[in-house]
Amino acid sequence: MVSEKSQSNDNQFSLSKENYILLAIGAVILIVGFMLLAGGKAVNPNDFYPNGDPSQTPEIFSFRRITLAPIVILFGFFFEIFAIMVNPDSKIIKLIFRTK
């Protein structure tokens, strides 16, 4: 027969509510990063450079797609790792969620 103490442990989640909230925030950051990466449709998908001129496709090589979006995506992945690893009783969680 299973003791009452072990039954109560089976009903608990492995992460706290704060961790799941941080995971959701990280998912939103990742979605924003991938949205920043999207776009830059070429007129002819068979020609990467129309007429062999790369200056005719500047939207593909914009700052937003080449630099900003990958940085936001990497930050989102690091934020997800932080959300999983952080202890719910740590000072930073108490500061973010203003708990005592």
pLDDT in tens, 49-93: 667 776 766 777 789 999 999 999 999 999 999 999 999 888 988
Please tell me which of 9-13, 14-18, 67-71 the model is most confident about, judged by mean pLDDT. 67-71
- Would you say the pTM of this structure is higher than 0.85? no
Residues 9-37, mean pLDDT to the nearest whole number: 91
Amino acid at 34: F
Rounded distance, CA 66 to CA 60, Å? 8
CB count, 10 Å around CB of 3? Answer: 8
Residue 60, token pair as written in the block: 């593909």
Which positions ≥6 away from 84 have C-beta within 8 Å?
15, 19, 23
Domain boundary assignment for the chain:
14-39+49-97
